[in-house]
Amino acid sequence: MQTTTPLDIAKIREDFPILARPYKDRRLVYLDSAVSGLMPRAVNERIAYYQAFEHTNVHRGVSQLSQEATDRFEEAREKVRSFLNAPSNKQIIWTRGTTESINLVAQTYGRQHVHAGDEILLSAMEHHSNLVPWQLLAEERGAKLRVIPMNDAGELLLDNLEELITERTRILGVTQVSNVLGTINPVKEIIARAHAKGVPVLVDGAQAVPHMVVDVQDLDADFYVFSGHKLMGPTGIGVLYGKKEHLDAMPPWQGGGSMILSVSWEKTTFIGPPGKFEAGTPPIAQAIGLGAAIDYVRSLGLDLIAAHGHELLDYATARVRQIPGLRVIGEAKEKASVLSFVLEGVHPHDVGTILDYEGIVVRAGHHCAQPVMKRLNIPATTRASFACFNDRDDVDALVEGILKVKEIFG
Ligand code: C6P
């Protein structure tokens, strides 16, 4: 059954070859886009074309081939710049993913600014990627992590934010969308309030970019990070956006080729951003693939994708709520299309495994957010996440699958 949003879901589904493959002798019901988006044919084809006809190294050669590869690579950077509405493509740094982007900031900006007794403020719903790098830094520096708490619905408690931001706070890290709860955090407001106290903010956009239009200038984010594979691009590519004044002042992270002005045994000098942070041969095909993914989502329209996701989330939430013994985890007023739940008497891993027998791919576990599990006093959840190619049939299959799980577990 189609949704009522203007996206032509049947046509969109044809863009994803994987949806046509048999899975457990059934129609593949992919409800795990929050772990990794499926790649549309256009992205696969763009990568294959690059590999077959355009590939060599970038920023190194005098050949036309090398210039062409460099042009395609830099065009992809420009697509990311425009996607985030960053002021300059010099502020777009390629990384391997969200995790690497955050580690880069922690180990450069963080090491420059965080010293003994300082504080790093994070939200209670951070993915391990926006927690562990800061914890490593805090341990190294003798600094302390502080936490913005959340309520049982999975909403950040921001009333006392100004008290949590002290004169020792050196950076605030917050996810725009929680990968477990689906909560959309008011990052623009958080950034304004942090800035009022002179504290820069890193926004983890890993789960936001597939669901909403992001404008880093409007947000006034100091750093914004995301992964290509969550946006229907390939794995192995991610993005770090940073404000110019931060990137200019930060030291390089890794050393090597392509990031230097001059090297001697005595001293090395470096080029400016983004090259300063891109030592070695970059993930060229992956960057070009991410550019193609951005073209794809923009051709559908991010606002239409968001509206479709909301409609499916509302439909799915209403349907699963009718299942006795099922509890939705994450009931924030503002949510992206992520639906976590627990089923009384059945471990989420068992739920996920049985759903998989039925051809329904979901994620089960702590979702790399153990502090969230601890806060909500649950070991894990089962999580369904929706994308532009999902329809109500997928949700209905999920509901039938859950009923089957209940049948098996009595
Ligand atoms: N979340 C999920 O199933 P990487 O692995 O670097 O591409 O992304 C890490 C990451 C960072 N922040 C958020 C909010 C995320 O959701 C993720 C990845 C996946 O929820 C895998 S654990």
Q: What is the pLDDT of residue 410?
A: 80
- Cα separations in angstroms, 409 against 329, 359, 366: 21, 19, 22
Q: What value does the mean pLDDT take over residues 398-406?
A: 98
Please choose, from the candidates 81, 169, 187, the residue with its C-alpha nearest in 3D space to the C-alpha of residue 126: 187
Q: At what angle do helices 98-105 and 132-141 cross, to 10 degrees?
A: 20
Mean pLDDT of the chain: 97
| Choice from 38, 99, 362, 366 to test ligand 1 binding pocket (greatest atom count within 8 A of CB) | 99
Q: How confident is the model at residue 4 (pLDDT cuts 50, 70, 90)?
A: low
Neighbours of 224 (CB within 10 A): 28
Judge whether residue 2 has pLDDT over 60: no
State the distance from the centre of ligand 1 to the C-alpha of 343, rounded, in angstroms.
24
Pocket of ligand 1 (CB under 6 A): 34-35, 97-99, 127, 129-130, 175, 179, 204, 206-207, 227, 363, 367-368
Q: Going by CA atoms, what residue is nearest to atom 21 of ligand 1?
A: 35
Tens digit of each residue's pLDDT (9 = 90 or more) over 245-284: 999 999 999 999 999 999 999 999 999 999 999 999 999 9
Judge whether residue 77 has pLDDT over 90: yes
Judge whether residue 86 has pLDDT over 80: yes
Given 19, 213, 323, 368, the catalytic residue: 368
Is 3 or 270 the better-scoring residue by pLDDT? 270
Judge whether residue 27 has pLDDT over 60: yes
Please choose, from the candidates 401, 396, 404, the residue with its C-alpha nearest in 3D space to the C-alpha of residue 3: 396
State the distance from the centre of ligand 1 to the C-alpha of 145, rounded, in angstroms.
20
Q: How many residues are present in the chain? A: 410
| Domain architecture of the chain: domains with CATH | 9-40+301-405 (3.90.1150.10), 45-298 (3.40.640.10)
Q: What value does the mean pLDDT take over residues 61-81?
A: 96
Q: Is 368 a catalytic residue?
A: yes
Q: What is the pLDDT of residue 60?
A: 86
**Conformational region of residue 236, where left means phi above 0, alpha means psi within -120 to 50, and beta covers everything else:** left
Alpha carbon of residue 316 to chain centroid: 22
Look up the pTM and report it.
0.98
Q: What value does the mean pLDDT take over residues 312-340?
A: 98
DSSP letter string, 270-327 = E--TTGGG--SS--HHHHHHHHHHHHHHHHH-HHHHHHHHHHHHHHHHHHHHTSTTEE
State the distance from the centre of ligand 1 to the C-alpha of 35, rounded, in angstroms.
7
Number of H helices, E strands in the chain: 15, 17
State the distance from the centre of ligand 1 to the C-alpha of 127, rounded, in angstroms.
7
Q: What value does the mean pLDDT take over residues 380-405?
A: 98
Nearest atom (ligand 1) to Cα of 175:
14
CA distance 8 to 28: 19
| Choice from 99, 105, 129, 176 to test ligand 1 binding pocket (greatest atom count within 8 A of CB) | 129
Q: How confident is the model at residue 1 (pLDDT cuts 50, 70, 90)?
A: very low
Neighbours of 91 (CB within 10 A): 24
Determine the Cα angle at 63 with ends 57 and 67, to 5°. Answer: 60
Q: What is the pLDDT of residue 382?
A: 98
State the distance from the centre of ligand 1 to the C-alpha of 268, rounded, in angstroms.
35
Nearest atom (ligand 1) to Cα of 363:
3
Q: Going by CA atoms, what residue is nearest to atom 8 of ligand 1?
A: 98
Q: What value does the mean pLDDT take over residues 327-351?
A: 97
Please choose, from the candidates 105, 123, 128, the residue with its C-alpha nearest in 3D space to the C-alpha of residue 194: 123
Q: What is the pLDDT of residue 331?
A: 98
| Choice from 32, 203, 230, 383 to test ligand 1 binding pocket (greatest atom count within 8 A of CB) | 230
Q: What value does the mean pLDDT take over residues 179-199?
A: 98
Q: What is the pLDDT of residue 393?
A: 97
- Cα separations in angstroms, 264 against 60, 268, 276: 19, 6, 17
DSSP letter string, 169-228 = EEEEEEESB-TTT-BB--HHHHHHHHHHTT--EEEE-TTTTTTS---HHHHT-SEEEEEG
Q: Going by CA atoms, what residue is nearest to atom 19 of ligand 1?
A: 35
SS3 36: coil
